[in-house]
Every structure is written in structure tokens, then in C-alpha cells.
Amino acid sequence: MVDYLNYQGLELAKSLLIFSKGEKIYKYDKQSIDYLKIFGGNCFGNGIDKKSYNERVEWVNNNEEDILNFRNGNLIKKADSKLLFIAFCFEYINYHNSLFSNETSYISHFPIQLDATCNGYQHLSLLTGDEPLAGHLNLISGDKNTKPNDFYDFVALKINDYLISQLAEENLKLSNSASDKEKEVVQKIESCERLLKLNKNRSLIKLPIMVRAYNASKLTMIDYLKEKFDKVIVNPNNDKDLIESMNYLITNDEKVLFVDSSNNKVYLNNKDFVLLVNTMEKIISNEFPKLNEVNLYLNEIAKICVTLNITISWPLPTGLNVKQYYVDSEAIRLKPFKFRNKTYSIKVSNGKVNKRKQIRALMPNLIHSLDAASLCLLINMFYQDQNDFSKKINFFAIHDCFAVTANNVTNLIKFIKLVYIKIY
């Protein structure tokens, strides 16, 4: 039961959990009540979570009757996070019922969850002082009528613009290209055309873009993209028209294609995925050159440390000193029992530095360590604020998602800002 029912579990587990200690929410505390309403709008989704602070509050006010009578199913059947939205409805009923009592407050155990925007990129933008990137990641302050920015949507729109530009460029090349290059150019043109037909929505590109902040390879990004597609094994004898339309040479018995599950008419091959990932890379590099600079800098630091065979280390504002030193290992086969022929293979360190891992892992380890330090400092600020380290606080965190009761959301936002100021 404990393995399943935890706040890092599935939506059902999260929707069933509340804080053990109740907190007083004063009925006149409009800001705290508004944060409850905003969380309800976020759980409902359907674009409401992309609206401004005031628009989300207004949506809850306009739909109050269906929230209080949520069992009629009018809102639940449309909600993106149905179970969390039901949990919100129960809490909203708790608040609404308190309005008819003589008490000035009501007791809430309900966790209000706040998510960061592309947290890895947030740390990188603060680390490099990249103000344009910070703006896309909601680190630049706005008022309550400002809609939150969505970094993934921004990149998705840029992908289309880039592909249209690339298509025009390749068509120009085709008219001037030598015969030996013609086939290559035609393939690039057809690849651009297929990708332009593809629905490049937020959910498709989110994971590959997210892991890029942690120095993920292009192959890893391609693998994440392919997870969103259905794999199709094409038989050359039965599907010759399809293979020819995809510029496939019939040299093997089978060919693997990937079909967009939301649009069965769009088939992609491996070269298309390479082009799509290269396009994402170019957009991020061109729009935010400081990301490339910090990546190259960290890679060079790692290469120097590898050459000198020394540990890469860095201090954190929490006082922890991080040390990174990956070593290679060798497989040794053992036969522990004389009366049995079975052998076992174990990996043993050979003391030699693993160059590839040292270079590839520095950026993600640095960002994750800064993320962990932020969380430690945040918790410490909560305890310092109440001047009693023995008193429990209602708080949980899942990576870049923090949860507190509604009366503590204002403090949570203030403390996160102070933590980032302290670090950066």
C-alpha cells in the first residue's frame, strides 16, 4: 500500500492524499482562496491552465454550481486531470460550506501544487543571465492579467517556420544542384514536407526538449520522439507504393516506418526524426546562444579534468561539495562453486576514468545539484520563518513541483524567489 499510495505516485494516489496537519484558512483571505481556485483551473486543464491568474479565478467563479455539484459529471468528463479535479471539488465544497458558519476560518488539509516551467532551463537561464530565455520560462514578473508563457509551444511554432524556410532553401538547391546531389536534396525536400504535415504539438516535443537541458544526446531525443508513434513493419512485396513514396530502396525483406497515431496519413522514417531533432537543436541554439556557450564551457572543463585525471568538483550554497568521478569497469567471470559449472559475471572498477561519462554527465549533475540545493534552501526558509524547527510544516515536492496548503502559497512563491536570488 505504501509503495503505491505516495505523492510521487500516479494521479489516483496524489488525489487521495492530504496533509495530516490542518491549517487555518481565513475566509477573508482572498489571495489564499484564489490560489485554491487557480489550482482547480489547472486540474481542469483544457486550456484553462494556460490562462492568466484572474481568468482562472473567474472560470471557477463562473462554474461554481457545477463544481459544487460535481457528481453531475458536466465538468469531470471534460477535465484533463479528472481525479485531482474531483479532489479539488471536495476541497471547494469544504470552503463553500464554511461561508455559512459563524467561524472566521476553516481547516484545510488540501495540498495546492505549483509546477515550475521547464525547471532545467530555468536554472540554465539564471546561471547564464539569459534574460530572453528567462522571459519564456516565466521568470520575468507579470501582473495577474498576464498569461503564462509556454516554452514548448514557442519552440513548436518555430519548428514550422524553420521547416518552411528549409524547404524553400532545398528547392532552390534542387534547381542548381549537380545530378549526383539531386537524390539527396529530393529526400530532404520530401522529409521537410512530411514534417510540415505532422502535428508538432506540445506533448510530442516536450520530452526531447526537456532532456536537452541535461545534455542528452540526439539519439536519446529521437527515442523520446519515436515513443509517440506507432511502429509499422513494411513488407516490400505488399507495400511497394508506400516504400517508393518514402524514397526507400528495396534491399531488405522488411522496412520500419513510424506512423503518427493522431494522423494515420503521416509516415516518418529515421531520417525524418534526425531532421526534426536537428531543427529543434538549431532553433534553441539560434534563439538562445548562451545555452550553447555554457554547454561548450562545461564540456571543455570536463575534458581538461579527464586529461589531468582529476575529480570534477563544485560547491553548493547548502555547504555540500559535489565530486564527480566516473571510472571504467571490466567484467570478470567467477566460478564460486567447484561442484557446479555455473559462472557469474561481475563488473569491477579498473581505476581508469570514463571520459565519455565525465563529459556527458557534468551538465545534468550540475543542474540536478542546483535543483536539490534550491529545495534544501526552500525548506530551510520555511522553518526559519516560523522560528521553530521542531514544528512540522505542510510541504511536499516532486522535482520541480511544490505543494503546500493554500495559506502558504504566497510564502512559497516569495521563498522560491529568495532562494534563486541567493544562488544566482
Tell me the average confidence (pLDDT) per consecutive run of 10 residues in the chain, 424 residues long: 83 94 94 98 95 96 97 96 98 96 95 93 95 94 90 93 91 72 83 90 92 92 92 68 52 67 79 94 95 94 94 95 92 81 83 90 95 94 82 86 95 95 94
Q: Do the domain assignments include residue 357?
A: no
* Widest Cα–Cα separation across the chain: 86
Q: Cβ of 150: how many Cβ atoms within 10 Å?
A: 18
Does one domain contain both 223 and 115? no
Q: Do the domain assignments include residue 333?
A: no
CATH code for position 69: 1.10.287.280
pLDDT for the residue numbered 180: 62
Q: Do the domain assignments include residue 31?
A: yes
Last residue of a domain, one of 287, 314, 333: 287
Which residues are CB-contacts of 225 (< 8 A; sequence separation ≥ 6)? Answer: 204, 205, 207, 208, 273, 276, 277
pLDDT for the residue numbered 249: 42
pLDDT for the residue numbered 266: 83
Does one domain contain both 276 and 167? yes
Does one domain contain both 81 and 156? no
Packing angle of the helix pair 179-197, 151-176 (nearest 10 deg): 150
Which residues are CB-contacts of 338 (< 8 A; sequence separation ≥ 6)? Answer: none
Does one domain contain both 106 and 188? no
SS3 (DSSP) at 328: strand
Does one domain contain both 160 and 258? yes
Domain around 237: 151-287
- Please report which residue ranges of 45-111 form alpha helices under DSSP H: 53-62, 64-68, 82-98
Q: Do the domain assignments include residue 143?
A: no
Task: Give catalytic residues, as residue numbers.
Answer: 115, 206, 400
Residue 408 near residue 110, CB atoms below 8 Å: no
Last residue of a domain, one of 265, 287, 309: 287
Does one domain contain both 215 and 281? yes
Closest to 53 (Cα-Cα) out of 27, 31, 25, 78 = 31
Does one domain contain both 181 and 241? yes
Q: Do the domain assignments include residue 347?
A: no
C-alpha cell at 391: 514544528
Total domain count for the chain? 2
Does one domain contain both 53 and 110? yes
Report strand pairing: 23-26 vs 105-108: antiparallel
Q: Do the domain assignments include residue 326?
A: no
Last residue of a domain, one of 236, 259, 287: 287
**Phi and psi angles of residue 365, each rounded to the nearest 5 degrees, phi first:** -65, -40
Does one domain contain both 121 and 186? no
pLDDT for the residue numbered 347: 84
Q: Do the domain assignments include residue 259?
A: yes
Q: Cβ of 275: how many Cβ atoms within 10 Å?
A: 19
Residue 390 near residue 20, CB atoms below 8 Å: no
pLDDT for the residue numbered 179: 58
pLDDT for the residue numbered 235: 66
- Find the radius of gyration of the CA atoms of the chain: 27
Does one domain contain both 184 and 107? no
Does one domain contain both 94 and 48? yes
Q: Do the domain assignments include residue 378?
A: no
Does one domain contain both 173 and 246? yes
